Structure formats: C-alpha cells, structure tokens
Structure 1
Amino acid sequence: MKKTLLLLILFTAGIYSFAQWKPAGNKIQTKWAAQINVNNVLPEYPRPIMERKEWINLNGLWDFAIAPVGKAGSQLYNGKILVPFAIESGLSGVGKKLGKENELWYHREFSIPKKWSGHKVLLHFGAVDWKADVWVNDIKVGQHTGGYTPFSFDITPALKSGNNKLTVKVWDPTDHGYQPRGKQVNNPEGIWYTPVSGIWQTVWLEPVNEKHIEALKITPDIDRNILQVKALTNNLPANYRIEVKVFDGKQLAAKAQSINNQPIEINMPANTKYWSPDNPFLYTLEVSLWNGSQQLDKVHSYAAMRKYSMKRDAKGIVRLQLNNKDLFQFGPLDQGWWPDGLYTAPSDEALRYDIEKTKDLGFNMIRKHVKVEPARWYTHCDKLGMIVWQDMPNGDASPQWQARQYFDGSEKIRSAESEANFKKEWKEIMDYLYSYPSVGVWVPFNEAWGQFKTKEIVEWTKAYDPSRLVNPASGGNHYPVGDMLDLHHYPQPDLFLYDAQRATVLGEYGGIGLVMKEHLWEPNRNWGYVQFNSAKEVTDEYVKYAEQLKQLIRQGFSAAVYTQTTDVEIEVNGLMTYDREKIKVEEDRVRKVNREIVHILD
C-alpha cells in the first residue's frame, strides 16, 4: 500500500511538473525537444574526464525572476524556468531576453542524502553566462565570471539538515560588455545570433572527502612512450600518495605512484596503441588518493597516446602531423547552436549526433567556432575520433566595429580590465580542456574580432600548452607568430597567401546555401554565401570546390575548414538544417570526396 501511494505521488508530481512547463515561442525544434522529461533533464554525468559514482543532478524546473540591476529578485519569483536552458531559449519555457539593465534570479531547494554525512559537498556549475553570484540558505558561497567554463564551490558550512535553499543571480550584458560572448548580440542579424544568458549547462552536487582530487592534467608523450598524470589536489601533506592505473579494456596495462604532490610519469607498454580519427583508442584510468592504507578518493578517467606537431615534407611544405605522420585535417565550422536550446543541446544524444554525422560525412576534424561546449561534447569527440580546433569566443567589440577592423588591419586597444578578463577566461578554457585528447589546436582570435596584442597572446598560449598547435588568428589580422597562417575565402577555396615557415591552412571556405522551407528559423529571411535549389546542385558545387581544394593541398594547404555543420538562425549554408531533420547534400558523394581529401597525404 505504501509503495503504491509513493508511486502515485511521484506520478502526480511528474504530471504537475509537465503542466508547469512547455517550450516557449514558435520557432522550429529538433526531434529531441519532444523527448525532454522535466524531472530528468540531461541526466548523464557531466564530467566524464573525471568521474565519481556519487552525485546529484540539480537540473529541472527552478523558480525564476527578472529584476532591475540592484533590486532583490528573491521576492519576485513568479514563474518556472527549465535549467539548464538559457532564458532566451524555447526550451527554458520562458523565451525572454535579459538585457544589461536586468538581473536573472534563480531559486530551488535540495536536500543532502544521509550517507553523505561527514563529507564535503561541492556545488558544480557547467557554465553560466556571464556573472554569477550564488547563495545557499542565504549565505553567499561564491561568485564567478566567465560564460564558458565550469566552476564549483564548497558549500558544506552553509548546509543544514532537511531542505536547503539555493539562489543564483546572473548578470549578462551580451554585446554591451567587454566579456567574451561569441556570436551573441542583442539585435540578431546575418551571422549574429540570439543572446544566451544565465545557466546553460548542468548544475550538480558531489560529495568528497576533506582531502580529494580537484582536477587531472593528463599529458601523453609518444616519443618517450610516457603518459604523465598530474592530480591537482587541495594542499596535500607530502606523505599522501597518488596512484594511477592504466587499463586497456579490463586488462591492467601500466601503473605508477607519487608522493610530494609530484606528477606521475607512467611507462606505457611497448605495444602502445595510438589515438587517431581512424582508430580512436582510449585507455581508461583509475586515479586514487591514499593516506597510508586508507583510500581517500578515487576517480575514473581516460587518456589517449597521441601527438600534434608539424614537419616539412619532401617538397618543403610545412605539414600538420598526428603521431609523427602527415595528416590533412579537414572538417566543418561547427557553431554548436540549437533552434530550441540555443547554446544547449536538448539531449546528450543530440549533442553526439552532430559529431556522428560529421564523422559519417568523412571529415576528421571539427573547428569549434567562437564557442566552448560542455565536457561531454569533447568526450564524444575523443571516443568517435574527431580532432578539435578550439576557438576562443570573441568579445569586446560590436559586430559593426569588428567588420571595420577586418578591413583596416588595426588591432583593438582594450582597457586594462578587458585585457585581464580575456587572459583569465582564455586560461580557464585551456585548463578546462587540457586533458581531452581530441583538442589539437588553440585559436585565440578569429577575423580580427577583438584581436589585440597578438604576439603576446599567441606566445603565451604556446608556452602555456606546448603539447598543442596554435592558430594565432583564423582569417587575420596576420602576424608571423604561432604555428599557422590561416586564410578565409568564400565561396571557393583559394591559396592567395603562403607562409613557408608555418603551416598554411584554409580556416573557412564554402558556405553553399540551400533553403528548405519547412526547416527555417525565419521563413521569410535567410542568408548564404551562394544559394542553390536542390541537394544535387549543392553537392555538385561542394565536389567542385573539393576538387579545387585537392590541387591547392598539393600546392601548400595543410588543413581546411568548410562552412558549416548546420544552418544557424537565418544562415542556410549548413550541411544539415538547423533542426537536424534534413541532410542537405548527397551523403555518399560528399563522404567519398572527403575521404579522398583526408587521406591525400598518406
């Protein structure tokens, strides 16, 4: 009887939750939007590069209020928002813009399991755009700025038995501030899109011991056949021990230990398996923290043995290499936008889908364009075998100023506050993504959008992470620093500059448009570099450009990026429609020519 009553209560609560939420607006949606369960939103563990068994997902319906800056919003809660979807998105259930004049307030309650007693409790946020202040039971527990990286607070001293109150306040000026914000603008048009404000990645709780592993920094070295693992910890005594076990499937392949907070260098077996797009092999890791015979923490992770580098070929052309072999890196410009969730994919299946289709179409690389993704996206790339070029999201300038700057060749003079914030957020992005094997290239600037102190930023980036290549400015302004000269040319590929000292790459080309009327963000407004009337016509043009690209590879290109993975808002030049319902090219023909391109240097 009690079990039946409990099930009835849960069922009734579920119906009530669904009644409180429905997608806002009348824009197109993906098929995954209809599958959302508000009581189980994005339920997957959000940080697979460092996973623990115990955690609680706080996604779901929260109270929210919009209040003028400086006015308390906690008395104004009058609606529900579905976390972690930005307030401007349809899937939030709200669909309203925030604006720099307002602050967004969130509220919900949670309780801590009894079995967590005696542990510290960490409150994690995957990403919040842009400035977040956080209270637990009306006690301020922390503040964070930066729209693209995870952060966490130890909330243990603020907790009480029973229900606990969580309050979050967010301020986001979008393009009226100096902060990195990618393609977001208050007045979307052309290549500029809807703002994304507030919580847009998973919020979760995790118990840990007083002494625990805070992060992992994993560095493969295939030339020495060593895997280095640095466990970042919270002020460990010197005698505490870190142990790393490396598994090939279920078989133990190697292990090593360290004390005194030293990085662990693991000698890998003689038959080490290398990671590549054609064979994305991952070793699994167990990383444990010990005090004598007492295990204080254990996390599960993974690693790949791989190397990104460059070398001149027999003709003197500087080529990109993977694992000391020439590899032409070829992939789409991927902006990571969704018609229903904006920055946030409606499900993990949706998040993985774009990468799978990119792989199916024969590409071996993705350029993640002026956006940073949730951790699970990079894990999918690791598992599927997709090299990632990671852009820094641009900011500190209006789109109009950016366009002028691209033509006049000048560099932005930023305020000291703006410079410091750029460096802070870029460092946090690099720290966040360092251990993911798929990330192969850092791209600090795109088309001079907010570009400043190029030499200083690029040299710092290269020194901070010497294990990867640095593309200093995709599309210019160009300076003789970093590892690449990156050209943009639309629509057809063109090698109009060449650098004999660095790799010359085609960072953007293509943009072949096709309007599919039932799959448009705005039915009466669309845009593309060139437009055609059928999948066959688009594919004919795509293959024509691909054949031109083959010749240019022989002449000097070492990588290329095609625009783009999907339509985005009024842009209709994607390989897929914005709702992911239609592939806009003849897949077999595109796959065939793409595979020829990625293997052209074999």
Structure 2
Amino acid sequence: MKYIYLLFFVLLLQHVQAQTGLIQNINARKTVSLDGRWHYIIDPFATGFRGFQGATADEHGLTGFFENKQQQQPGELVEYDFERSPTLVVPGDWNSQSNELLFYEGTIWYQRNFYIQPQGGKKYILRFGAINYESYVSVNGKKAGTHIGGFTPFEFDVTSLLKNGNNSIVIKVDNIRKKEAVPTDNFDWWNYGGITRDVVLAELPSTYIKDYKMQLAKGDLKTITGYVQLSDSAASQNIRINIPEASLQTTVTTDNNGKAFIHLPIKKLSYWQPENPRLYDVIIATASDTVTDKIGFRTIEVSGKNILLNGKSIFLRGICIHAENPLIPGRPRSNSDLQMLLHWAKELNCNFARLAHYPHNENMSRIADSIGLLLWEEVPVYWTIDWTNPDTYNNAQHQLSELITRDKNRASVIIWSIGNETPNNSDREKFMEGLADYVHATDSTRLVSAALLTSGATNNTINVNDPLGNKLDVVSFNEYYGWYSKEMPWEIGKFNFQVAYNKPVIITELGAGALGGFHADSTVRFSEEFQASFYQNQLPLISKIDGLRGMTPWILVDFRSPKRINPTYQMYWNRKGLISETGQKKKAFYVLQHFYEEKAKQQQ
C-alpha cells in the first residue's frame, strides 16, 4: 500500500510538471524588467476577490479588482483605485516596507502598468522569481494563472493577453498560513509576504530552447551528459552545443518530443571546486534560438562515510543562512544583499552553506558558483506538515521539482534537502520517503538529505536512528546540547554520539543565542561569552563523531522571528547568529572561524 501511495503522487506530479515547466536561464534571454514601484491595496477580507454572497471573481469572468476599473463618470461607483493607492518596491516584502504591515498576513493586491509593442512570431513569458504565498495573476483583466508556494519561480505564457502599447498587471497575493500548506501554519521565521523576487517579461522565438541540463555523469569525470528540451515537440531539429574554452562541441538531434540527449566525452577540463571555481561558457544553439550559460563541472558522491568531490574526500565547513538582510530589514532585494551574506560565509572560512529552510533567490547559487561555495538547498517541509493530505504532498513535491529545475546546472549545489526537524512517525515516513525517491529519480548527480532530529540521550549516548536515514545519502541532524538541554555548555563533554548508519554525517544545526554587544560572564545566557563557550565546548563534542564530514551551525546572521519575544534579549529576533542584525561579528564568529581555518589546513 505504501508504494502505491507514493507512485500515485509521483505520477500526479509528473502531470502537473508537464503543464508548468520552467524555462531554464530565462535571464539570458531578451527581457524587460518589471521591478520597481507597484501600487498596492490592503484587503484583509479579500473584498476584491469575493462578493458579499461568497462568489469569487473567477466565477464571473475575472471581475473584482482584476478589472482595474477606472471611474469614467462622477456618479459612477468604483470602490477602489490603484492609481491613487500607495506603492511598494518590487522585489521586496511588504512587512519591512510599512510599519502597519509588519505583522500583516492576508491579501494585498499589486498593480503596475508597462509599455510593450509585441512582435509577430514571438512568445512572451511573464516570470516571477517568487511570490509569498498564493498568487493569482491577471494581465489586462484576463487570467494569466495561479501559483502556490512562496519561494520558487513560476511563469505564464501571456502572448495572447498582451496588447500594443500600455498594459496592466494585477496580482492578488495572500500569505495566510495554513495547516495544509508547505510550510505549514507553524514555523520559526518571519512570514514575509509579497512579490519578493524579480519580475521579468521575456521575449522568445516561437520555438525556443526551454530547458537543458549539462553535468558530469554520476561518478564519471570523463563524460558530460544531459539533455536539451525545445518548447515544442519538434522532431529532427539539430542543436549545437559548444564549450569553446574546453574545445568541446557536438550536434544532437531532437526526438519526437523535441528533446535531445547529450553524451559528450571530455578531452581536457578543469573541474569545479571551492579552491578553483572554474566556470565555462556553454553555448546552446538552434536555427532560431541561442542560449549561453556559465557552468562548472564536478562530481559529488558518497563512499562509505566519506563525501567525495571530484573523487576526493572533502570536509564541509559550513554555516546556515536565512534569506534575510539584517542591515536593510526584510528579504534580500538585490545581488549585493546576496553577495554580502555569502562573502560573510567565506570570511568565516566556509566552503559550504545550508540555505535554510526554503529555496533562496536563484542568484545565490550563481554567486556561489562564481566564488566557490558548495550549497545545501532545501524545501520548507518543516516541523509538522499535514502528512496525510494528498494536496500537501503534491505541493511539497512540486516546490522540490521547481527548485531542481531551476538550479540543476549549478555546480555549487551538491545536496537537495527534503525537510527539517520532522517528527518520526509512519505517516511522515511515507511522505518523506516519497520525496527522497522523487529526488533520486530526478537528479542522480547530487545527494539527498534532510535535517533529522536525535532520539535523545541514554546513558550519555545521543542516538541518531531515524528510519528516514535509510533513504538518505548523507545522515544529517540538528542538536543543541548546551542550549536546549538541562546541561550547560561546559557539561556536554560527557556525551557521545551513536549513529545507526554507515554513511557520512553532517551536523545541520547547533547553536546558542547571544545579543550582539551584551557582555558578561560565560555563565550568563544571551551574552556573547555564553555563546562563545557553547562553541568552544560543542566543537570538540561533535568532532568525536565517527564519519563526521561536515557541519552547518545555526546561523550566520540574526534573523526576525515572531516566536522570539523576550523583550530584553530577543525582541522578535532569533539571536543565534554569529553576526548581529547590525553586522557586528560576535565572539563565537571567531571561535568557529579559527576551527575552520585549522580544518582547511588539515585538508591541504
């Protein structure tokens, strides 16, 4: 029965993906940015979508606020007005842009005009980097489409909806937390609502290169494999692939589905690694379309308790990162925000980062590619998902599919994570095993993991025996002994770990809170000295783990959370960051920095 359950959902998701597949590397095409200031209307009761008797705007041919109606006569009744409404910056969350919206959860309408002269024989794709959480998009009063999920990109073909000259987009955005959603209604970060990432309108030829994947074959440093998928089922189309700096080129031909497979033996190649993040220009061309990407080539696999990068053992010196800029509150709005976070990680002597607990901006992986930082990417299957709800599973797998589609060509991404701190029970096991099987079937060139929980300590032994570990390539778990335990940091040396799997281990979270600038004795909780003591005692503790191949302490920078309400030390901030919300490095930053420096020397 379990396997029938899983198969049903895999087949269902494959059907959905066939309808909603993403264009690979859309920013390499001819695009018009729709970022900037958008008008907005706060609508806590969804008045613009739902009539007073309950009928929705969609039932009446997309009426309501989607019409963007303008008053034509002084006596005409129109109870909203986008043109005279205030504006929000896109990309950007609404919570950090207005004091009245700091805690707001509900519906907000966005609207903006744009000018375009559509060309015959072209396709026009409207692409959103992310909107949190549910979005309903209309163009010129006609439905473009809907999307559920707050952290992955989505797009609509709007060719037939555009008109010559001025055009209007209206979007209903709703970030209400729901039990059946992914993430569910209980999570430990700020529920930033709005259009949080870039919006572009892409112009493409009628038949274009929609998708491609090019990576070294699993465990094979001598062969590049992958595929190219055209937008139409155009058979017998020649596709030229050229990697000039590696003196590699080939021509492949599409099958009846418009897909062509790649098998390219390597003559000479510099493999991507943190110490040498070599990227190659890859040019893919058809008779009507050309796309250029920068791709690094590397292999990642496990052997016993080792993680092998390009066939060599590596220790992952990592840190967890939330998608939040502490200096300009809210979601990151530009590449400079992303670069700041990743360069802080590099300053910490990291070669690895866990992007928690949801997909981050796609430019994070591109920057990581260029600076040599390995990545763990995760979907928000967090804590207590509605495990028995088919729609919830469908949602989780779809977000995972969108993430893999988006970042499958990024050399920096080595681990897909299917969740964080999920409870150990049979319903959860079915749900998570389905996700693990899906990832293994979708992308064999990377590893699969999840941040598990320990099952507690017995006779000073901390046990890791979650059955989900059988499905994972790397056993990863969170532990906070010395913070969320009766023992103080200086008392945890008595513990040992018992891991029930002959697999590499990554400690995905450990940490302690400290208010930046608060100094006291090391026994005083929330002082920088207490946090430093925690790290000084934790690092020797976890170093005793047989098979420890990496760690990502929690967390690089303090971040906002409505669950952290202590008025003296937290003030709605999670204070476990090694860097404060003002950019100040805490004492623990230097403890971990020195530890990683010594680890790096050992690997040389």
- Report the CA distance between 1:124 and its aligned residue: 0.9
Distance 1:192 1:473, change over 3 A: closer
CA contact (8 A) 2:516 2:586 kept: no
Q: CA deviation at 1:61?
A: 0.9
Give the whole-Å Cα distance in 1 for the aligned partners of 2:238 and 2:24.
Answer: 23
Alpha-carbon deviation of 1:273? Answer: 0.7
Q: 1:471 maps to what in 2?
A: 449
What is the match of residue 259 of structure 1?
253
> What is the CA distance between 1:505 and its match in structure 2?
2.6
What CA deviation, in whole Å up to 9, does each residue of 1:166-198 have, x standing for no partner? 111122322x2422238x85xxxxx72321223
Assess if the C-alpha contact under 8 Å between 2:523 and 2:530 holds in 1: no
How far apart are residue 412 of structure 1 and its match? Answer: 5.8
Question: How many angstroms apart in 1 are the aligned matches of 2:368 and 2:271?
Answer: 15
Q: Which residue of 2 aligns with 1:584?
A: 586
**C-alpha spacing 1:578/1:216, structure 2 compared with 1 (3 Å):** farther
Alignment partner for residue 293 of structure 2, among 291, 298, 301? 301
CA contact (8 A) 2:326 2:557 kept: no
How many matched pairs? 506
Q: What residue number does 2:556 align with?
A: 565
* Among candidates 205, 209, 226, match of residue 205 of structure 2: 209
1:443 aligns with 2:417: yes
Counterpart in 2 of 1:458? 436
Query: Could you tell me how far 1:587 is from its partner in structure 2?
Result: 6.2
58, 63, 66: which one pairs with 2:34?
58
TM-score (norm 1): 0.77
Cα deviation code 1:120-139 (max 9, x no counterpart): 22111111122222111112
Say yes or no: does 1:128 pair with 2:136. no
Partner Cα distance (1:192, 1:238) in 2: 49
Over 3 Å counting, the alpha-carbon distance change for 1:489 and 1:500 in structure 2 is same
Question: In 2, distance between residues paired with 1:137 and 1:412?
Answer: 37
Scaled by the length of structure 2, the TM-score of the pair is 0.77
Deviations 1:461-506 (A, max 9, x none): 2222221111144326543222233232214686522234222332
1:155 & 1:56 partners in 2: Cα distance? Answer: 14
- Whether 2:230 is the aligned partner of 1:244: answer no
Q: Please identify, of 448-457 and 558-567, the stretch whose mean Cα deviation from structure 2 is larger.
A: 448-457
Q: Could you tell me which amino acid in structure 1 is paired with residue 42 of structure 2? A: I
Paired residues for 1:18-417 under 5 Å: 49=25, 51-52=27-28, 54-67=30-43, 68-69=45-46, 70-71=49-50, 72-73=64-65, 74=68, 75-76=79-80, 77=82, 78-90=85-97, 95-99=101-105, 102-113=106-117, 116=119, 118-174=121-177, 176-181=178-183, 192-221=188-217, 223-248=220-245, 253-260=247-254, 261-270=259-268, 272-290=269-287, 296-312=288-304, 318-339=305-326, 344-394=331-381, 402=384, 413-417=387-391
When the two chains are superposed, the root-mean-square deviation of aligned CA atoms in Å is 3.0
User: Aligned partner of 1:263: which letter?
Assistant: F
Partner-residue secondary structure (3-state), 1:262? strand
Match of 2:597 in 1: 595
Q: How does 1:483-494 map to 2 (within 5 A)?
A: 483-491=473-481
- Shift of residue 360 of structure 1? 1.5
Alignment CA distance shift 1:93-1:232 (3 Å): farther
Match of 2:92, SS? coil
Deviations 1:356-412 (A, max 9, x none): 1111211111111112111111101111111111122125xxx7xx4xxxxxxxx96
By how many angstroms is 1:345 displaced? Answer: 0.9
Structure 1 segments unaligned to the other structure (5+ residues): 1-46, 186-190, 291-295, 313-317, 403-410, 519-527
- The residue type equivalent to 1:584 in the other structure is K
Q: Which structure 2 residues correspond to residues 461-540 of structure 1 after superposition, within 5 A?
A: 461-475=439-453, 477-479=466-468, 480-491=470-481, 495-516=496-517, 531=525, 533-534=527-528, 538-539=531-532
The alpha carbon displacement at 1:452 in A equals 4.5
Instruction: Measure, in 1, the Cα distance between the counterparts of 2:433 and 2:451.
Output: 10
Q: Which moved more, 1:488-497 or 1:163-172?
A: 488-497
CA contact (8 A) 1:488 1:508 kept: yes
Q: Deviations over 1:20-67 (max 9, x none)?
A: xxxxxxxxxxxxxxxxxxxxxxxxxxx994543522111111111122
* Structure 1 counterpart SS, 2:260: coil
Unpaired runs of 5+ residues, structure 2, are 1-22, 51-63, 69-78, 455-465, 483-491, 561-572
